[in-house]
Each structure stands twice: as structure tokens, then as C-alpha cells.
Amino acid sequence: MLAARAGTRLLRPSSLYAFFKQSPVTLPHLPGPSRSEERKTDRVTRVPGAMELRERAINIKAAAASSEHGGSGAGAAPESFSLGPVLTSVAVACCGAFAFGYHLGVVNGPLEVIARDLGFAGNKAMEGMVVSTTLAGAAIGSLTGGGLADALGRRKAFLMAAVPMLVGPLLCAWATDFNTLAAGRALTGVAIGLSSSLVPTYISEIAPTSLRGALGAVNQLIICVGILGVLLVNVAFPATQWRSFFMLGAIPAGLLALGMLLSPESPRWLQSQGAAASAEAAARRLWGPAAAAELGTAPGAGGKPEPEVGVADMLGPRFRRGVFIGIILFAIQQFAGINALVYFSTSVFRQAGVTSDTLASAAVGATNVIGTIIAASIIERAGRKQLLINSYLGQAAAMFVMAAGFTLPALKDLSAPIAVCGTLAYILAFALGAGPVTGLFVPELNSSKIRGRAVAAAMTSHWVCNVAVGQTFISAVSNYGLATVYSFFGAVALLGALYVSTKVPETKGKSFEQIEAELQS
């Protein structure tokens, strides 16, 4: 995710996430006992997914193993379900993602006109605060959103997020002075931060195992649709209509609130609370006949809630590995230079003869979209881990090539085209892995009991590192040169590839319960 930077007309787009085919899906289940016997056996015998799930089911329940070899249900037809209910709920949640992207870019075009109309034209500090208050609000929202989601449930947390998502833009639209505008932007930032934690958590929990990667990628795809949408608004309408821009930005909040009133709660959160009957009802609403198989035997399935988990428990042996992997992955994502590269891309394109900031942003955005769609089409086959490793290697290669273009005399005449091609190659590599997979890994690697707070911790890492890179990039370039800074980013990307290859488990096709067991082993 990329923040917009004040004082520039550069749009700082988020990483794009994947697209998916909207078609009915057939989920396999383990051959097992007959329907009459099925109620007497553990539901783990019907967990869908990769072959590893079959092995885990056998280990958990010896009876399941014997039934697999000789049960009357062997060879039964797989259960099918339509994706309609799941896609509807994903679309509702993504109203928050669209608002996220839209409000990151809404002030980029009309900022000078806003400053003139509200009486702070020429005051760079106040112009910067229009953006920085949003980032501060986002940090607060991301830090608190996970706790709300874990304590109150995903739906209630979404409904709470819809309040600042609605009030913030309306305050900006009706502002007659800087203070009102800043307050509105801060509230909008809180909503952005809440959404950054809630949307990936909810989608990961309502998605069937076989499509969790593709559906999880939709979050970031819609964020970037929001960014590109506000870019089109800036192109189509004069900056003097900036109040209308903010009013348009309030629409997703209303859709989110209305949609969440009609959407099911996360079955996995209900299960973690011991609400087995409610969890089963929500699961059947989402997944139909495959509900029991998808829910599996997670803690809380027997109707008893898991013990409350505090911060100290999150740092304990059961949970800490997943929590720290999320924090580290987002730190690597930011310190590998994605925000800095996008920040500098307008200057790079200008040197190559592209004088329009809008065209530069469109080129970066289009490359991001293409890369993400490619990633979505292969994520369930190639796996998250390999995509992420390849992505970091591609980012490192692009950074080192650009650094060479800036320093080697033989490449002086080619420095501009090398910079343009290197920038687009880096964005493409980012979109093929580091963008979509980082956000997908975090909810997958954490238990439903702490998933909201774990995602919040990772997103807080994202925002803190985002600001750190943004605040130090210009001074670092001034002191050490662009080639040195880009080489540093390339080195971080290489370290990221090494970290993922040695420390991060593959999650493709695995249930949440199996992933948690592997992390604890």
C-alpha cells in the first residue's frame, strides 16, 4: 500500500491485488463414512484442500484413516457450491478497500485549489498536514481495528469503521477553514486504517480454502481501483469542484454500512467465540453443503469459546511466529523501496520526455494491474511463497540495473530509458508477489482468535515504515546519491527473498488449522 505525498502531483498507488474467475467451484473432501455414520465421526475427515490436509486428518483421527481405506463413502461425489454469497460479501467488504484507495489520492490534484479556497495557499507545512493527518489517522485506525474486530466481531467493526468513513469526507466537503478540513482528513485516515485491517481479515475468513488466495487478492485490487478512480475524477472534472470529489468519497461508506447489515458474520470468528450454532448457520449461508468441511475442527467448534488472548499471549510460543512474520514482511515490503520508487517515478518519466504526471501515474497503475492479474491467475498453482521469492528477486534486479544506469559512464546516454524500463519492471515484479502476497500471508498465518490484532500489528508496521521511508528518502538521495539508495533497496529485496525462503511457510491449499499446527511445530 502506498500513501500519497503532499506537495507533489504524483499519485502513490497501492499494490494491486489479483482478479479471479467468478464461476462455481467444486471442493473435494476426503472419502469417509456413509451419511448415517458421518455424524458420529470427526468433521476433520471432510476437510477440503491439498493432499497435506488428508495426511493431517489421518493423524488427528485414526478412525478417519480406517474409513478412508474402507468406508462406504469412498468415492462419493464432491460437494459443490455457488460463489454467489461469498462474492457478494467480498464486494461489500471491498467498499472499504475502494474508500481506502480513493481517499489516498483525492487531494493530489486539487490541493492547490483547496489551499487557495480555504486561505492557506503557499503554506507548505499546512499543505503537508492535509496528507500527514490522514496518515496519522490511518496509523491509529490500523492499530485499533484489529482489537475491535477480535472483541466485537468483524461485522460490528465494519459498521463502526463506516462512521468516520462517512463523516470524514463530508467534513472535508463542507469545510470553510483549514481546521475543519484537517479534522475531516484525520477521521478519513482512521477509517482507512480500520479498513486496512478489517478487509483482509474478513475476506480470508469467508473465502473457501481453494480460493482464499485469489479472493484475498481482491482487497488490494480494489484499493488500486479506488486510486485510479479518483485519478479519472481529477482528469474529468476541474479542481474547483473539489468539494464534490469528497462527497463522492462518502458513497462507499454508505454502501459498506448497508451491505454489512445484510452480510453474514465471519463463521471462523463465531467459531472462535464458541458460538457453534451461529458459526454453522453463517457457514451454510456462505458455503452451502460444504460448510462443515470448510469449518473443520478449529478451536471453538465444540461450542466452547477459546480462552481470551492478550498481548502477552500473542508474543508467546503459540502465536508469536505468525505475528512476527507479518510485521517483518511489511517492513521488508516498504524498505525494499516501493514508495520511494513511485515517489520518484514522475521525475524519471519527465527525463524520458513524459511531462504529464497523470500519464506517469497511469503507466505505473496499469503495470501494477497487469502484474496483479497475472499473479492472481497463478497464485493457487505456484503458491504464495515462490511468488514472493521471485518478486523480491525481480525487484532487486530492477534496482541494481537502475543504479548501474545512473553511475556507469557507458550507460549515460541510456540512463533515461533504463530508468523508465527499470521503474516499470520493478512495479511489475512488485505486483507479481510482494504486493498481493504480503497482505495475503498475514491473515493466513494467524489464528482466528488473534487474526484481527495480528493483521493490525502488521499494518501498523506498514504505516510506520511507510512514513520512515517517505521522510528519509529525499535527504538520503541528497547525501548519498540515487544509485546508492537504489542499491540499498535492492539489497533489502535480496534479504527479503532469503527471509521468505527460510522462515515463511507455504500456505497454499491448507486449512487455517493446518497452518497453525505447522507454525507451532
62 and 146 assigned to the same domain = no
Domain match, 61 and 121 both: no
163/46 same-domain check: no
Give the chain's residues under pLDDT 50. 1-78
Q: Write the pLDDT tens digit of every residue in 51-60.
A: 443 444 334 3
Taking the C-alpha atoms of residue 446 and residue 513, their distance in angstroms, rounded to an integer, is 10
pLDDT digits 0-9 by tens, 487-516: 999 999 999 999 999 999 999 888 888 888
Render pLDDT for 355-396 as a digit per residue (tens, 0 to 9): 777 777 778 878 888 888 888 888 888 899 999 999 999 999
Evaluate whether residue 383 is within a structural domain: yes
- Do 45 and 129 share a domain, yes or no? no
| Residue 275 falls inside a structural domain | no
In this structure, the answer to whether residues 40 and 157 fall within a common structural domain is no
For residue 289, being part of any structural domain is answered with no
Looking at the fold, whether 370 and 398 belong to one and the same domain comes out as yes
The domain boundary, picked from 62, 77, 92, lies at 77
Number of Cβ atoms within 10 Å of the Cβ of 232: 11
Host domain of residue 507: 84-263+307-520
The predicted pLDDT at position 463 comes to 86
| Tally of domains in the chain | 2
Q: 148 and 99, same structural domain?
A: yes
Structure confidence at residue 92 (pLDDT): 97
CA angle 245, 248, 254 (to 5 degrees): 150
Q: What is the pLDDT of residue 299?
A: 54
Cα separations (Å) of 62 from 295, 302, 520? 20, 19, 22
Residues 155 and 50 in one domain: no
| Residue 111 sits in the same domain as residue 65 | no
The answer on 220 and 326 residing in a single domain is: yes
SS3 readout for 416-471: HHHHHHHHHHHHHHHHHHHCHHHHHHHHHCCCCCCHHHHHHHHHHHHHHHHHHHHH
Indicate if 197 and 320 belong to the same structural domain.
yes
